[in-house]
Structure 1
Amino acid sequence: MKIAVAGAGAFGTGLAIALAANGPVTLWARDAKAATKMQESRENAARLPDLIIPENVTVTSDLSEVFAADTILLAIPAQKAGAWLAEHAAELAGKRLVACCKGIDQATLRGPVAQIENHVPDAVAAMLTGPSFAADIARHLPTALTLACKDNDEGAYLQACLSTPTLRLYLSHDVVGAELGGALKNVIAIACGVCMGAGFGESARAAVITRGFAEMRRIGAALGADPETLTGLSGFGDLALTCTSDASRNYRFGLSVGAGKEFDSSTTVEGAATAVSVTNLAEKHNLDLPICRVVADLSSGKIDPETALATLLARPLRKEQ
């Protein structure tokens, strides 16, 4: 199997470093200067400083080298993935395409695998998701992820080829559940960050995690996800990690919002865009997702943390479910 990773951000670079344990990997960076610098220095200083890129990872800005692979991992931001797939649909036809981005597209309200199926219908589409940070993967620390694929044989093949001694992949056929878990945990992580940044305390964060998980299950049921998927690695596992660690970009973004501080605009925060998408999905399916709605309003600057808290506390008392 020839493997390429499209997207040389932190997660794409981390995956390329990890997968190099199995053989040669091509890592594509959009910026030619950045690709050349990474290839020569053997480091992604901007995203994963002090981590060496193995010699069998070729960093390039030449897409033809990516298209020469039969398996391509898409580590492109979720809001840009659809346009990238549409632009290169002809070259991607018949490939194995593994989405490694987490989010729901604002324009189409589709997850990453649905985007692949829409733009490249004859490709094998899969989703790699779960509790993981790029630096942990790159350092070969033990990590367990979900690999979701509708095709049993192709899923098993990808599971075998993309697993390493420290990267353990668990196979699932519930693509919808895997997409939703990875996308929605980022939204809840922002809410948890806001709680901590605004000084609301650990008890408030625990409540947000718990009620946020209920919202994840609610929309999962509406869209046909297997409830078991959301209690696994790609759902609750990823939620627990992202909502409690400063290494999470979405959590750090929430911390900044809650504390009224500026946040690095060059850092991708998938949860902010996904919150808007989820709110639109909730309206479409007549679902009550108050935390997701509040995060959407917070991220767009429509309300402040105090108003957000007041909004949630003002909700009617009812039976927990």
Structure 2
Amino acid sequence: MTKNTLCVLGAGSWGTALAILLAKNGHEVVLWGRNKEKIRAMYEAGENSFFLPGIPFPKTLTVSSNLSQAVLQSDELLLVVPSHAFRDTLVQIHCIKPDLQRLSWATKGLEPDTHQLLHTVVDEVFEQSLQQAVISGPTFAAEVAKGLPTALTVAANDQAYAQTLAELLGNATLRPYVSHDIIGLEIGGAAKNVMAIAAGIADGLGYGANTRSALITRGLHEISQLSLKLGAEQQTIMGLSGLGDLLLTCTDDQSRNRRMGLAVGRGQNIEQAEIEIGQVVEGVQAAKQIYSLAQDLGIEMPIVEQVYQVLYQNLAPQKAVQNLLMREHKSE
């Protein structure tokens, strides 16, 4: 395998896990983060003690808070910053390397305020045509970092680029699949977080497995409606980055979004829950963004609507569940 110098931008749990994976695959990897104190602590500890404690960095993984240096020395850039920082990071990259030819990201979410899909943000910042790729799927960061068996999807607007990234990521414990459906991966990765909050709320209220199963199933229907409207493919919705990621996020307490829902269902407010979770909970912003997007497109997404009202309009969680159950009867 050809050795590459890769830059992973974003030193949260998922960015760190991908950096560890790529370094274990034999590549030189720079993990960039904007917080100088945290980056220094990672350097001294040889691990990301904040998000993935006890998982040491491979020897070929270095950390940096110098964005220019990290970008200019790398053959590949992989963005894993939170969605609210996505555009700002892109603008900085464009200033450093305006002739960039290709870019990949594993950020899940839409852009705040504009509720744009992230590939459209890339198009706006980089006026030239870029090779673009999205990495998504049912992946908890700690399990990837530990080398537990995992599968994910790489979707790109150039299939040779998708295959290149698949070869960089793939090893004996991680199996990547390739696709051309960027929109499908982006919608699946954003919307499933909202459904995980819904599932967590229901479980926090003590409503049990029947309720959770119904929410996941109808949640998949809502994701499908939105995805198809925006041009995604049904195969993607039923694949790893759609159904697979939805099941994972809704059913396991490693999910920050599910934990947020559990906290809300048990009576905590969003601010309390975010402090306890200690990381960005993408589904909180995604609920607002996807609700607005669905309204703009004239798509009915009742679960998303109820989550939005709980998070932003002080609707009682019990009332949200009642609202869903009392909707007009219809064919499945």
Residues 63 and 141 of structure 1: CA distance in aligned 2, closer, same or farther (over 3 Å): same
CA RMSD of aligned residues (A): 1.3
Question: How far apart are the structure 2 equivalents of 1:115 and 1:163?
Answer: 28
- Indicate conservation of the 8 Å contact 1:70/1:96, yes or no: no
Deviation at 1:97, TM superposition (A): 1.6
Q: Secondary structure at the match of 1:148?
A: strand
- Structure 2: runs of 5+ lacking an equivalent: none
Corresponding residue number in structure 2 for 1:289:
301
Moved more, 79-88 or 15-24: 79-88
Corresponding residue number in structure 1 for 2:104:
98
Report the residue type matching 2:83 in the other structure: A
Tell me which stretches of 4 or more aligned residues in structure 1 moved more than 6 Å. none
Corresponding residue number in structure 1 for 2:257:
250
Corresponding residue number in structure 2 for 1:25:
29
Is 2:83 aligned against 1:71? no
Deviation at 1:135, TM superposition (A): 0.3
Is 2:157 aligned against 1:150? yes
* Alignment equivalent of 2:316, drawn from 283, 301, 304: 304
Is 2:115 aligned against 1:109? yes
Percent identical = 39
Q: Secondary structure at the match of 1:288?
A: coil
Is 2:12 aligned against 1:5? no
Deviation at 1:43, TM superposition (A): 1.4
Question: How far apart are the structure 2 equivalents of 1:108 and 1:263?
Answer: 26
* Alignment equivalent of 2:280, drawn from 243, 261, 268: 268
Q: Secondary structure at the match of 2:81?
A: coil
- Structure 1: runs of 5+ lacking an equivalent: none
Q: Deviations over 1:232-282 (max 9, x none)?
A: 000000001000000000000000000112313342111111111111111
Corresponding residue number in structure 1 for 2:45:
41
* Alignment equivalent of 1:179, drawn from 175, 178, 186: 186
Question: How far apart are the structure 1 equivalents of 2:41 and 2:109?
Answer: 29
Give the number of equivalent residue pairs: 320
Corresponding residue number in structure 2 for 1:55:
59
Report the residue type matching 1:39 in the other structure: Y
- Indicate conservation of the 8 Å contact 2:135/2:152, yes or no: yes
Moved more, 278-287 or 231-240: 278-287
Is 2:329 aligned against 1:317? yes
- Indicate conservation of the 8 Å contact 2:151/2:175, yes or no: yes
- Indicate conservation of the 8 Å contact 1:117/1:125, yes or no: no
- Indicate conservation of the 8 Å contact 2:22/2:168, yes or no: no
Question: How far apart are the structure 1 equivalents of 2:313 and 2:251?
Answer: 24
Question: How far apart are the structure 2 equivalents of 1:111 and 1:140?
Answer: 30
